[in-house]
DNA sequence: ACAGTATATTAAAATATACTAATATAAACT
DNA sequence: AGTTTATATTAGTATATTTTAATATACTGT
C-alpha cells in the first residue's frame, strides 16, 4: 500500500479534529483564512466574549493550526503555514464569510485596531 | 471567490469533525477502510468493550460516515459511500493498520463471524 | 420454545469541554 | 506614575462526552 501524504499518529489526528469539531473555531479559521485578524475583530464579528475567543484561539494555537503576531497592543492571528494543506481542505467545505469581513469595516462600533 | 467543492453549514462540518475527533473512532474508520467488519471483530482488534464499540459506531453512523449491513446475527460496518471523498482525505493522514487485520486472522480467540 | 451469540440501548459515573465572570499582564497614551 | 485598551489566564459552573455495567433485542441452532 502506497501512501503519498505524511502520516501522523492517531492521537495527533484526533487532537486536530477535536479542535476542528467546534462551530466557533471553524468560524474563526474561516475568518482568518484570507487575512490576519486581531482578537477584537474576531470577537466583534462572531459576537462572543473576549475571554471565550481567547480560549478558542489558544486551542487552535496549541493544535498548531494558527499562529500569532504581536503588534503594539494587538495580537494578530493567522493560519499556520505548517498546517496549511490540511486547513485548506477544511476551508473548502465551509461557507464563504467574506461578507462578514466587509461588514466589519462599516459597522459603527468597529474596532480601532486597523485604523 | 470560486469554490469547487460542496459547501455545508458550519454546524454540519463541526458535527463531522467532532465525530472524527476521537482516537477510537478514527481507529474504527481505518479498520473498515478496506473491508467491512462486524462489531465483534472491531472490538477484538481495538480491545474495547462491546458496548463502547457499539456506541462509537452509532456516532459514526448518525454522522453519516459509516453504514451497516446485517447478515445473520452479525452486523457488518463499512464506509458510507456518500461521505467517501471526505473520509478518504482523513484516512490518508492515518497510519496503516493492515497488520492488525492480519493478526486478527491468526489470533487464538478470533471471532467466528467470518469462518 | 429454549439456549447461545451478537449487538443495541440504558443508566450511572468519571472526565472533558465551553462558557462566564473576575483577575492578571502587557503595551500605549497622557 | 496612572489610566486605558487589548489580550491572556484563572476559577467556577453548566453541559457534553466517554466509559463501564447492566439490561434488552434480534437472530441462530437445537
Distance CA(A91)–CA(B18), nearest Å, equals: 16
Say if residue A9's pLDDT is above 70.
Answer: yes
* Nearest DNA or RNA nucleotide to A55 (CA to C1'): D8
Secondary structure of A26-87 in HEC code, one letter for each residue: HHHHHHCCCCCEEHHHHHHHHCCCHHHHHHHHHHHHHCCCEEEEEECCEEEEEECHHHHHHH
What's the CA–C1' distance between B94 and C18, in Å? 28
Note the pLDDT of residue B28.
Answer: 98
Q: Could you tell me the pLDDT band of residue A2, with boundaries at 50, 70 and 90?
A: low
Average pLDDT over every residue of A55-75: 97
Distance CA(B95)–CA(B59), nearest Å, equals: 22
Cβ atoms of A40 and B37 within 8 Å: the answer is no
Is A14 in contact with B21 (Cβ distance < 8 A)?
A: yes
Nearest CA-CA partner of A26 in B6, B14, B20 = B14
Q: CB under 8 Å to A3, separation ≥6 — which residues?
A: B92, B96
Average pLDDT over every residue of B17-21: 98
Going by the DSSP 8-state scheme, the letter that residue B76 receives in this structure is: E
Note the pLDDT of residue A60.
Answer: 98
pTM attached to this predicted model: 0.91
Is B92 in contact with A10 (Cβ distance < 8 A)?
A: no
Average pLDDT over every residue of A71-89: 95
Query: In sequence order, what E strands does chain B have?
Result: 37-38, 66-71, 74-79
Say if residue B108's pLDDT is above 70.
Answer: no
What's the CA–C1' distance between B59 and C19, in Å? 25
Nearest to A17 among B1, B21, B96 (CB): B21
Cell 462572543 found at? A48
Q: What are phi and psi of B27, to 5 degrees?
A: -60, -45
pLDDT digits (tens, 9 = 90+) for B68-106: 999 999 999 999 999 999 999 999 999 999 999 998 877
Q: Could you tell me the pLDDT band of residue B111, with boundaries at 50, 70 and 90?
A: low
Average pLDDT over every residue of A46-57: 98
Instruction: State how far Cα B2 lies from the chain centre.
Output: 32
Contact list in B for residue A14 (CB cut-off 8 A) is: 20-23, 26
Element (H, E) at B16: helix B10-20
The contact set of B with A (CB < 8 A) is 1, 3-11, 13-23, 26-27, 30, 86, 89-90, 92-96, 98
What's the CA–C1' distance between A19 and C18, in Å? 12
pLDDT digits (tens, 9 = 90+) for B34-67: 999 999 999 999 999 999 999 999 999 999 999 9
Under CATH, what is the fold of the domain A10-104? Arc Repressor Mutant, subunit A (1.10.10)
Is B26 in contact with A17 (Cβ distance < 8 A)?
A: yes
* Beta-strand pair A37-38/A74-79: antiparallel
Is A11 in contact with B23 (Cβ distance < 8 A)?
A: yes
Amino acid at each position: 500500500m502506497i501512501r503519498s501524504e505524511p502520516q501522523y499518529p492517531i492521537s495527533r489526528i484526533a487532537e486536530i479534529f477535536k479542535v476542528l469539531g467546534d462551530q466557533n473555531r471553524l468560524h474563526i479559521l474561516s475568518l482568518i483564512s484570507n487575512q490576519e485578524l486581531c482578537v477584537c475583530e474576531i470577537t466583534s464579528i462572531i459576537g462572543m466574549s473576549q475571554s471565550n475567543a481567547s480560549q478558542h484561539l489558544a486551542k487552535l494555537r496549541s493544535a498548531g493550526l494558527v499562529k500569532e503576531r504581536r503588534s503594539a497592543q494587538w495580537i494578530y492571528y493567522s493560519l499556520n503555514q505548517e498546517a496549511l494543506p490540511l486547513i485548506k481542505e477544511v476551508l473548502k467545505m465551509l461557507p464563504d464569510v467574506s461578507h462578514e469581513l466587509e461588514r466589519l469595516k462599516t459597522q459603527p462600533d468597529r474596532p480601532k485596531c486597523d485604523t
